[in-house]
Structure 1
Amino acid sequence: MKGIISLILILVLLALAFAVGSQNEAVIAVNYLIAQSDMRVSTLIAISIAVGVVIGLLLMIVSWLALRVQLMTARAKIRKLTKEV
Structure 2
Amino acid sequence: MIKYILGLVITLAIIIVAVTIGANNDQIITFNYLIAKSELRLSTLVAVLFGIGLLLGWLITGFFYLKLKLQNMALNRRIKRQAQQINELTLPKAE
**Pairs aligned (count):** 85
What amino acid maps onto 2:56 in structure 1?
I
Identity over the aligned pairs, expressed in percent?
32
> Structure 2 regions of 5+ residues with no counterpart?
87-95
Q: Deviations over 1:27-79 (max 9, x none)?
A: 00000012101000010010011001100110111011111111111111111
> Structure 1 regions of 5+ residues with no counterpart?
none
CA distance in 2, matches of 1:75, 1:27: 56
Are positions 1:56 and 2:57 aligned together?
yes
Q: TM-score, normalised by structure 2?
A: 0.81
Q: CA RMSD in A?
A: 1.3
CA distance in 1, matches of 2:8, 2:56: 17
CA apart distance, 1:4: 2.4
Which one scores higher on RCO, CA 8 angstroms, separation ≥ 6?
Answer: 1
Match of residue 24 from structure 1: 25
Once the two structures are superposed, the pairs formed by residues 1-85 of structure 1 within 5 Å of their partners are 1-85=2-86
Q: TM-score, normalised by structure 1?
A: 0.89
